[in-house]
Structure 1
Amino acid sequence: MAWIGCLPASRSNFLHLIKRGTVGVIVGGIAEMFMVDSKRERVKLVGRKGFVRVALEAGVDLVPVYYFGQSQVFCNYGPPFLARLSRKWRVAMGVLVGRFFLPMPRPIPIYLVHGKPIPVTQISPSDPGFEKAVDELHVKAVEAIKDLYMRHREEYGWPNRPLSIE
């Protein structure tokens, strides 16, 4: 993945990339890869506050984005025990199961939607109100993702597909 410009989601990498321009973050990471569900959309956001901390420290706005269909390109990533090992070793280990039960993506249309930027005021991590600001901004980010999903799911053809934020 490094060949195409991907970097580990570390604080130092975020801060370096923010100075160079826009940064896209897949918050769910390895844990979300194993959360594929045929009946509902599952997003890993609970407890994921690192991106909010970096946004506050750097004073950059957050733009909520949702990719409809991306969770269905592969119908499975592997058995649950691989999820635990992958998280522990910080490397995605799994078996992609897609079209014809091969590691080939299924032909699913992907629909990207984005919301209005969430304004962020720069706050130093040493500020006594930093953790409270992190919690408040995280709630706003989660609500923005929920709102995006609910507003656009019918356009994508999922009027009754629920969203589960875990």
Structure 2
Amino acid sequence: MMDFGEIWAHIKDGLGTISDALGVQWAPYNVPMARRLQTLGAVGWISLILLGEPFSIYLYIKLLYSDYWWLAVMYAVWMLRDIDTPSRGGRRFEFVRNWSWWRFYRDYFPLKLVKTADLDPSKNYLFACFPHGLVCAGAFGAFATNALDFYKIFPGMKCNMMTLGAHFLVPLFRDLILALGGCPASRESILYLLDAKKNKGNCVTLIVGGAAEALDAHPGEYNVILSRRKGFVRIAMTSGAPLVPVFSFGEPDVFRPLNNPRDSLLRRFQEKFREWTGVSPIFPIGRGVFQYSYGLVPLRAPVTTVVGAPMEVQRNLDPTDAEVDAVHAQFTKRLVNLFESEKYKYLKDAEKVHLVIT
């Protein structure tokens, strides 16, 4: 009769055979607690990104059809009265931005925030961020939380991360996004935050490529959508706020997306879905909690978000297309220079990596 050790050895051999067949690499059992907490932070973050909205809707419906239905009705009335808040500067809570969860999330990759120039707290700035990647891991950590010490790196400044306006129509979820400093990525909302008469020291963070750029996020490749994105330049000119190029090196390496060439059936489906909903259907492939081969947990790939020097923009309430094109060309040159000057610090084989602008 076999003892427990022999039985366990047979079990491990069997699991090893199955793992080899499936190509699964299991995590060791003796992972330090610090790394386990980091993984938990990353799991919580990606769960928020992918499942936060449907889970919030589920909770609200459960509340509505429970004995406490009156709370759901009261919340709905309050939400209707609060519907303009996101476009009027939002409602941030530093307590939420300071959650320990975000520090574990930061250390998982890890994420870093680097500045190349100081910012004047008496001014407002429009941060134009690239690339979107699949889920904006670097920008989220840098500008939607305090985990990367934005306030210490840029004294006297505060930041708001702009996102899809539809998020603020989802009960419960909207309040978390607002608490993190999120606001709709609309002209009205951005101009309100950049209004020098109402605000000082605001850094409005806009992911210029948006959902469309997420479809071109592939490890080791830096494809950004900028040539046809000129609205942010027009807003900067209207407000007179300096434009700041921001680049997250390593962002495309956080996930391995499905292969989706532009002429593929999958890509056509993704484009059509984005046109209908404003959201790109992404299929991120990362790792699991207990194994490194498959899953939705992001990969441990370092992401460094570099904030470039501000580009002064002359205020022009009604710029012509030619004037917008001139400022856009100047900004594009600034972005390329930032990428080329910083890539050698943060990318392997940097001489082989180029910025592709479409």
Identify the residue that residue 355 of structure 2 maps to in structure 1: 163
Which of 280, 283, 304 lines up with 1:95 in the alignment? 283
Asked whether the equivalents of residues 249 and 347 of structure 2 are also in contact (C-alpha less than 8 Å), the reply is no
Give, in whole Å, the separation in 2 of the partners of 1:112 and 1:71: 12
> Which aligned segments of 4 or more residues in structure 1 are displaced greater than 4 angstroms?
none
Counterpart pick for 1:37 among 214, 218, 225: 218
Q: How does 1:62-141 map to 2 (within 5 A)?
A: 62-76=243-257, 79-80=266-267, 81-99=269-287, 100-125=293-318, 129-141=319-331
Larger CA Rg, structure 1 vs 2: 2
TM-score of the two chains, using structure 1 as the length reference: 0.88
Please tell me whether the aligned partners of residues 30 and 87 of structure 1 are also in contact (alpha carbons under 8 angstroms): no
Determine the C-alpha separation between the residues in 1 that align with 2:182 and 2:271: 21
The answer to which of 4-13 and 25-34 deviates more is: 4-13
- For residues 5-53 of structure 1, give each alpha carbon's deviation from its aligned partner in whole angstroms, at most 9, with x where no partner exists: 3333211111122234220110000011110233521111110001101
Question: In structure 1, what is the equivalent of residue 4 of structure 2?
Answer: none
SS for the counterpart of 2:218 is: coil
Match for residue 152 of structure 1?
342
Give a deviation string over 1:69-126, Cα, whole Å, max 9, x none.
Answer: 112111217741213311332123322222233221111111122221111011012x
- Aligned-pair identity in percent equals 30
Paired residue type of 1:87: E
Amino acid across the alignment from 1:85? F
Which of the pair is proportionally richer in helix?
2
AA of the residue aligned to 2:222: E
Q: Is the contact between residue 124 and residue 130 of structure 1 (CA under 8 Å) also seen in structure 2?
A: no
Gaps of 5+ in 1: none
Equivalent pair of 2:250/2:347 in contact (CA under 8 Å): no
Contact 2:286 2:298 in 1 (8 A): yes
| Corresponding letter in the other structure for 1:86 | R
1:25 alignment partner, SS class = strand
Q: When the two structures are superposed, what TM-score results if normalisation uses the length of structure 2?
A: 0.43
Higher mean displacement: 60-69 or 93-102: 93-102
Q: How many residue pairs end up in the alignment?
A: 163
Aligned CA distance change for structure 1 residues 40 and 95 (closer, same or farther; 3 Å): closer
Give, in whole Å, the separation in 2 of the partners of 1:157 and 1:72.
11
* Structure 1 residue identity aligned to 2:356: S
Equivalent residues of 1:123, 1:130 under 8 A apart:
no
In structure 1, give the amino acid aligned to 2:191: L
Q: Which runs of 5+ in 2 are unaligned?
A: 1-166, 168-173, 261-265, 288-292
1:16 aligns with: 192
- Report 1 or 2 for greater relative contact order, CA contacts < 8 Å, sequence distance ≥ 6: 1
SS in 1 for 2:247: strand
Q: 1:55 to 1:86 in 2, by over 3 A?
A: same
Deviation at 1:68, TM superposition (A): 0.1
Equivalent-residue separation in structure 1 for 2:257 and 2:246 (angstroms) = 23
